Amino acid sequence: MKESLLEILCCPLDKHDLELEDAEYEENEVVSGTLICTECGERYPIEDGIPNLLPPDMREGTPA
Amino acid sequence: MKGQEWYQADDVAEEYDDKRFSRGGRLIDRREKRALLEAVGPVEGREILEIACGTGRFTTMLARRGADVVGLDISAAMLRQGREKARRAGVADHLEFLRGDAGRLPFPDDHFDTVVAMRFFHLADDPEGFLREMRRVASDRIVFDTFNRFSARSIYNWALPMGSRLYSKSEVAVLLAKADLTLVDVADDFLVPYGLYRAIPNALAAPIRAADEAVGALPTADHFASVSYWTARVR
């Protein structure tokens, strides 16, 4: 993802802003890091450059 | 394997476009893209979100035509294919992909001009909730398709890897009203179900399609149409 995507992304649970932590970059792209909700503190990983904004109950290892 | 697991498996994602949209499937691909473009209207400079974008067939096309596009899907494997496709098409600067839940979108209210969901509602367990959420993040237009009840499609539903939800026109009208959306247009297509097109070579698909279109032009044929493309406006 490009860092500018952060301007429109918000927490899927409470719609508050997200902050980017531990970002690693490759050619203007954020390839890994964590997006953290400034309100509830929920953490959303960036995996292979694709942010995973699935709510915690829908992530891998959680029964669908 | 359950539908959701099947859809998210790496090997399924890698072969998805080849299996579904080669051979007779190419006709479907072309027809769907045309239907979407007609429903969406001018895309240049528009902010568009596609729900359940899969391997990015539509997102790439929309970005190529000058839209700023975000594609959301549940499957990381599908999105990896989408990103590759966007890079090859040279539109990666206007196209972002992310994983998310269609029922709880990670975007603020009214952010996108247009929100699109193709081949999504037949798999939706909560169509009302999904449509309401699409409307929440849209400021102008919503475009989606449904597979119809009383269509040729019912015949082969059992063959789908996951149960398929069919809609009547009046059901969709109620859904739109409940989500505070105004219907702008609805277009119907494909009397012969997708599964048949996929199974036959392109050379055969074209004549069947021609017969399909001839019958589709008859006034009573709408009731048997397999797919409807819906355009709605935010009230």
Inter-chain CB proximity A64 and B4 less than 8 Å: yes
Which residues of chain B have a CB within 8 Å of the CB of A12? Answer: 100-101, 104-106
Q: What is the pLDDT along chain B (235 residues), one digit of tens a residue?
A: 456 777 888 888 887 877 777 666 777 788 889 999 999 999 999 999 999 999 999 999 999 999 999 999 999 999 999 999 999 999 999 999 999 999 999 999 999 999 999 999 988 889 999 999 999 999 999 999 998 876 555 555 544 545 678 888 889 999 999 999 999 999 988 655 555 556 666 666 676 666 666 655 555 544 455 789 999 999 9
> In this predicted complex, what is the ipTM?
0.94
Query: Which pLDDT belongs to residue B223?
Result: 47
* Cβ neighbour number for residue A50 with a 10 Å cutoff: 20
Cα–Cα distances in angstroms (integers) from residue A23 to residues A26, A31, A56, A57, in the given order: 10, 7, 21, 24
Query: Which pLDDT belongs to residue B167?
Result: 87
CB of B121 closer than 8 Å to CB of B229: no
Question: Is A7 an 8 Å CB contact of chain B?
Answer: no
Which residues of chain A have a CB within 8 Å of the CB of B136? Answer: none
Q: Is the pLDDT of residue A5 over 90?
A: yes
Q: Which CATH architecture has domain B3-15+35-189+224-234?
A: 3-Layer(aba) Sandwich (3.40)
Q: What is the pLDDT of residues A19-53, one digit of tens each?
A: 999 999 998 899 999 999 999 999 999 999 999 99
Give DSSP secondary structure letters for A24-50. EEETTEEEEEEEEETTT--EEEEETTE
Q: β-strand A43-47 against A29-37: which pairing, if any? A: antiparallel
Which residues of chain B have a CB within 8 Å of the CB of A48? Answer: 76, 80
CA distance to partner chain B, nearest, from residue A9 (Å): 5
Phi first, then psi, for residue B47 (nearest 5°) are -90, 115
Query: Which pLDDT belongs to residue B38?
Result: 94
| Residue in chain B lying closest to A14 (CA) | B106
Hey, what are A30's tokens? 């954020």
Cα–Cα distances in angstroms (integers) from residue B99 to residues A42, B50, B60, B82, B133, in the given order: 16, 12, 17, 12, 16
Which residues of chain A have a CB within 8 Å of the CB of B2? Answer: 64
Query: Which pLDDT belongs to residue B169?
Result: 86
Inter-chain CB proximity B107 and A8 less than 8 Å: yes
